[in-house]
Structure 1
Amino acid sequence: MAAPPSPPSRGSESPFPAPLARVRLYEQVAQQISAWISEHDLQPGDKLPAERELASRLGVSRATLSQALVALEVIGAVAVRHGDGTVVAKSPGPSRIVEAVRAHADRLPEIIETRDALETKIASLAATRRTDEDLDRIETALLSMEIDVKAGGRGVEGDEHFHAAVTAAAHSGLLSRLMGEIAHLIRETRIESLSQPDRPRASLAGHRAIADAIRAGDPESAARAMHAHVEMVSDVAVLRST
């Protein structure tokens, strides 16, 4: 009787394929929106339907649709204009949407860590080096964001101006250059955060605590306030759903 065939050697075994990544619902919705944009040949500047209508068409909740639109805004596919809704910015194509959205989610924790490390030190330095002109710029940025938020906006530009003013107040050329290098990545976290419910007002309160510590010339309090602020704005839906 013939001997049974020998099992293949370990070296000849074919490895199991890697498990497929699970596509999250908001990623699917983002892909559907991108496909809808392409199918209707929408161009940059063209307006999308209102969120309620779009959610109804896609058969998803407003919360899921909102997360999908934020993801599309972060990667530059759409833009949100206060009082005018969501408009097309550019179209990377439906086949690339999930890839781009997932890449953003994957790098978000590292962006947040870097923000915390740099901006906490910047706030501390700003408290000891700020000039009257620096304090005026910080206050102007706070007022700009407050006006936007009270009018129903997210305060994205005011938020950006505030952090830029604090960075300038630190009077550190190298830290300023480093912040400039990651500015486009920080904008991703800014859009993601300020799109969370009630986040603009909470972020504005965090800015006020930072500004007060800088004005008081208290570097330790300024650093603590900035660290607490970055921790708060880091609580975003895309990380809670991973």
Structure 2
Amino acid sequence: MVKINPIKRVTLTEQVLEQVASWITSNELKPGDKLPNERLLAEEFGVNRGRIRESLRALALIGLITIKPGEGSFVSGKESVLPAETILWMYHNEVNNLEEVYAARKLIESEVYLEAAERMTEDEIKVIDDILKDLKKVPKTNAEEFQRLLDDFDLYMGSCSGNKIYNKLMQTIVHLRHQSMVKILNVPGARENSIKSRTKLVKAVKEKNLEEVKKAIELNFSGAKRFYKQNI
């Protein structure tokens, strides 16, 4: 059991949060470890269970722990996915600025694609190829499924980049672009551009041709820029 320093002021939820977070970031608690239950934490910290509950919810919001109803709270894996609610909360003022979302997309996605293209194994290439095949089969009436597969494709590219920061940034941009992408995919030609550019990208990755990867990226964003302009 890790050492708990009692909290003397019962209104300072932040101190509880910071102390639990420090156990995780210092590796006193490791990914998968179960935290003590709310009752025990409340007794040891000297605060009421409401304060503990608030702290645990905040830790879950920033992705440090996972709360499983009926089971308890567990330390998240180091490569855990950033919660969508956290990202949207962080950027709530910018999410509707389509020009800024587009600029961020181009910067982050381009670098992630290039990094992943250099590192991907044959098995990983097969995964994105399969996602692309599924993407091409989605009926035009099912925008939600089309968007989900686009997200899956790009999130997987992020995980294949070999760069943990890039992976988190790709998760961030996928969540930030979601609302604007829903609008843009309704513009005639937008879906076709997404499929065409990713088909070109997968082909270039298979051939280990980075120049063609760059051309595929440029094709994607030159097309996307036109569709963004129609929604600004």
> What is the aligned counterpart of 1:118 among 102, 108, 111?
108
Shift of 1:103: 6.6
User: Residue 128 of structure 2: which of 132, 135, 138 is its match?
Assistant: 138
Q: Distance in 1 between matches of 2:172 and 2:193?
A: 27
Q: Which amino acid aligns with 1:131?
A: T
- The aligned runs of 1:1-242 (5 Å cut-off) are 105=96, 107-149=97-139, 152-154=141-143, 155-236=146-227, 239-240=229-230, 242=232
CA RMSD of aligned residues (A): 2.3
| Structure number with bigger Rg | 1
DSSP-derived class of the 1:230 partner: helix
Identity across the alignment (%): 16
Distance, in Å, in 1 between the alignment partners of 2:147 and 2:124 is 20
CA contact (8 A) 1:145 1:157 kept: no
Partner SS, residue 217 of structure 1: coil
The one-letter code matched in structure 2 to 1:123 is Y
Q: Is the 8 A contact 1:210 1:222 kept in 2?
A: yes
Aligned residues: 139
Residue type of the partner of 1:167? G
C-alpha distance in structure 1 between counterparts of 2:151 and 2:197, whole Å: 14
Equivalent position of 2:82 in the other structure: none
Q: Which runs of 5+ in 1 are unaligned?
A: 1-99
Equivalence for 1:34: none
Q: For 1:173-208, what per-residue CA distance to the aligned partner results, in whole angstroms no more than 9, with x for missing partners? A: 110111222332121232122111232123111110
Contact 1:203 1:229 in 2 (8 A): yes
What one-letter code is carried by the residue in structure 2 that aligns with 1:153?
N
* Displaced runs of 4 or more, over 6 A: none
- Compute the displacement of 1:108 (Å): 1.0
When normalised by structure 2's length, the TM-score is: 0.53
Name structure 2 gaps, 5 residues minimum: 1-91
The answer to whether the 8 A contact 1:126-1:219 is kept is no
Q: Aligned with 1:182: secondary structure?
A: helix
**2:199 and 2:212 mapped to 1: Cα distance?**
12
Could you say which residue in structure 2 is the equivalent of 1:90?
none
Letter of the 1:141 partner, please give it. I
The 1:103/1:170 distance shift into structure 2, 3 A limit, reads: closer
TM-score by length of 1: 0.51
C-alpha distance in 1 between matches for 2:102 and 2:119: 25
User: Does the 8 Å CA contact 2:136/2:195 hold for their aligned counterparts?
Assistant: yes
- Distance, in Å, in 2 between the alignment partners of 1:194 and 1:241 is 11
- How far apart in 2 are the matches of 1:177 and 1:240? 29
Task: List per-residue Cα deviations over 1:71-129 (Å, max 9, x = no partner).
Answer: xxxxxxxxxxxxxxxxxxxxxxxxxxxxx9x9755x11111111111111122112210
